[in-house]
Chain A
Amino acid sequence: MAITVSRPKLNWKERIYLPAILSGMAITLRHFKNMLFGRTKVTMQYPEEKWDAHMPEHYRGAPALVRDTAGRIRCVACQLCEFICPPRAIKIIPGELPSDDKFAKVEKYPNEFDIDMIRCIYCGMCEEVCPEQAIFLRKDYAITGFTRADMVHDKEKLLEIGGVMEGVVLKWNEKK
């Protein structure tokens, strides 16, 4: 069944169209004035002023490896993050810890640990799956590079972004 949409009945003021134009121009003028005198604060002048201070607690930025307070790389090269990673951005080549190492009982360490930041989708699954609390998504968001090779974060770069994490479980330390 066809529905007849009733057209609104306009009074003469609406039909003459000019008051609407003038009130519209008053609105844009108000926006213009507020912007001109700096009363509207919307824009962040990006390179000078950054998001860093306003970042929410749950922000997921670049993934990074962390060291604990003893200076140990927390990753044990279990490769769970490599398997869980949806875009397969992570590549780990494990190595064996020498028997005279202080943490020899850990047995494995990541010899190479690359994250391809072109592929990474910042989903945070690596952080979620990690049994060792070794990989975390930090708040870095401006990941740039001139080549594809530049965009692959190797172990040094990941550790540099990650830094030292405090307040995590230290299960591999010697028992007191």
Chain B
Amino acid sequence: MDYYFIITTLMKIVGVVFLIILPMVSYTVYAERRVSALIQDRLGPNRVGPAGLLQPVADALKFILKEDFTPAHVNKFYYWLAPCLAMVPAIATIAVVPFGSTLFGVPMVIADINVGVLYVFAIASLGVYGIVIAGWASNSKYPFLGGVRSSSQMISYELSLGLAVIPIFILVGQLRLTEIVNYQIAHGWMIAPFIGDWLNPVKWLLAVPMLISFAVFTVAIFAETNRLPFDLPEAETELVGGYHTEYGSMKFALFFLGEYAAMITGAAIIVTLFLGGWHLPVPWWGAEGFQWLLINGDAPGWRGVLGGLFNIATFFAKVAVLLIVFIWVRWTLPRFRYDQLMRLGWVFFFEIALVNIFVAALIIAYLPL
């Protein structure tokens, strides 16, 4: 047994899930509340701690201290299972995402498996079970409608989600997420190929289908995570609370946090696929003229450690920027009508993604890269 591997992997799991993802989830909720408040000319929670920064702690305490009530008319087993199913896939998906280069020689990815993105799609689509089972087990009409809506919505948008990433795999030739990041380090980010022979016009031509892929993928992630403008499963005005109407206390909190964890995972995957992952080049004028300086954990001694930490910080900074955009969009756009949502998914995004694959394939096949 390779004890070194097991121990480092366990440390990575605990570090990423408990020290980064879960605090990030609670502070995304905080950011959501503050940003939405500022957008609406309010202040938001600013009382608990400096600038309200302890608000997530207070919220968690409240949720834990509340009575954990199970209504009499629900299917007990599935009612209890659903919140777990909402939370677990969102966190499990983060396992394959490379969130940094190396730290002390250990690669900063929990499981560097060769099916990478397929694993992400497989696990992330399990998230719909949490919602559907919650809707069904609640034995009540509004949660049921929410569950039905969510299942058709998520299935519809998974199509464009899957098709949107195919141009990347045609280009890179690998599903492994670390390889995709390495490709972007060598050739520039997918939507902005400024590294390597950046004067080659074909690279920039190829960036156009990549940009379309990026847009389609991002919109599909919005729909997958039930964020506005696609939050039909929990449309408050129509469905009371949607699929979690019958839930209270910590079980409701699990749905709530699962949604935000899914948002973080989605943002992490967008960053990895399109925005260069943990890579942030530094412009440098050295002896041989201008070049992009690559910072990673390979340097000896403390510089390597600092580099590794810098990469991790870069990755989560990019994720945070995307999360702010998610929040910003949510508080700008109104909700779609259900038929509009389906039309958008099946008639527009599906076709756009499909055509986009052929455009990218033609560019890669017939133009010298």
- Taking a contact as CB atoms under 8 Å apart, the answer to whether B41 and A35 are in contact is yes
- Taking a contact as CB atoms under 8 Å apart, the answer to whether A32 and B38 are in contact is yes
Interface flag for B317 (CB, 8 Å): no
Chain B residues with a Cβ closer than 8 Å to the other chain, count: 13
- Taking a contact as CB atoms under 8 Å apart, the answer to whether B43 and A43 are in contact is yes
A31–B40 Cα distance when bound, in Å, is 7
Interface flag for A29 (CB, 8 Å): yes
Interface flag for A168 (CB, 8 Å): no
Interface flag for A42 (CB, 8 Å): yes
B39: A residues at CB distance < 8 A: 28, 31-32, 35
Q: Considering only CB atoms, which chain B residue lies closest to A23 in the complex?
A: B332
Q: Which of B35-61 contact A (CB under 8 A)?
A: 35, 37-43
Number of A-B contacts (CB under 8 A): 34
A21–B222 Cα distance when bound, in Å, is 15
B333: A residues at CB distance < 8 A: 21, 24
User: Which of B's residues lie within 8 Å of A, judged by CB?
Assistant: 35, 37-43, 328-329, 331-333
In the complex, 15 of the A-B residue pairs with CB atoms within 8 angstroms, ordered by the A residue number, are: A24-B333, A27-B332, A28-B39, A28-B328, A28-B332, A31-B38, A31-B41, A32-B38, A32-B39, A32-B328, A35-B39, A35-B43, A36-B38, A42-B42, A43-B43
Other A-B pairs, 9, CB within 8 Å; known A24-B332, A28-B331, A35-B42: A28-B39, A31-B40, A31-B41, A32-B38, A32-B39, A32-B328, A42-B41, A42-B42, A43-B43
Interface flag for A111 (CB, 8 Å): no
Contact partner, A32, options B35, B43, B329, Cβ 8 Å: B35
B40: A residues at CB distance < 8 A: 31
A21–B334 Cα distance when bound, in Å, is 10
Q: Considering only CB atoms, which chain B residue lies closest to A41 in the complex?
A: B41
A31–B42 Cα distance when bound, in Å, is 10
Interface flag for A69 (CB, 8 Å): no
A166–B312 Cα distance when bound, in Å, is 71
A29: B residues at CB distance < 8 A: 328
A40–B40 Cα distance when bound, in Å, is 11
Interface flag for A93 (CB, 8 Å): no
**What is the minimal beta-carbon distance from B352 to any residue of chain A, in angstroms?**
12
A159–B108 Cα distance when bound, in Å, is 72
- Taking a contact as CB atoms under 8 Å apart, the answer to whether A21 and B38 are in contact is no
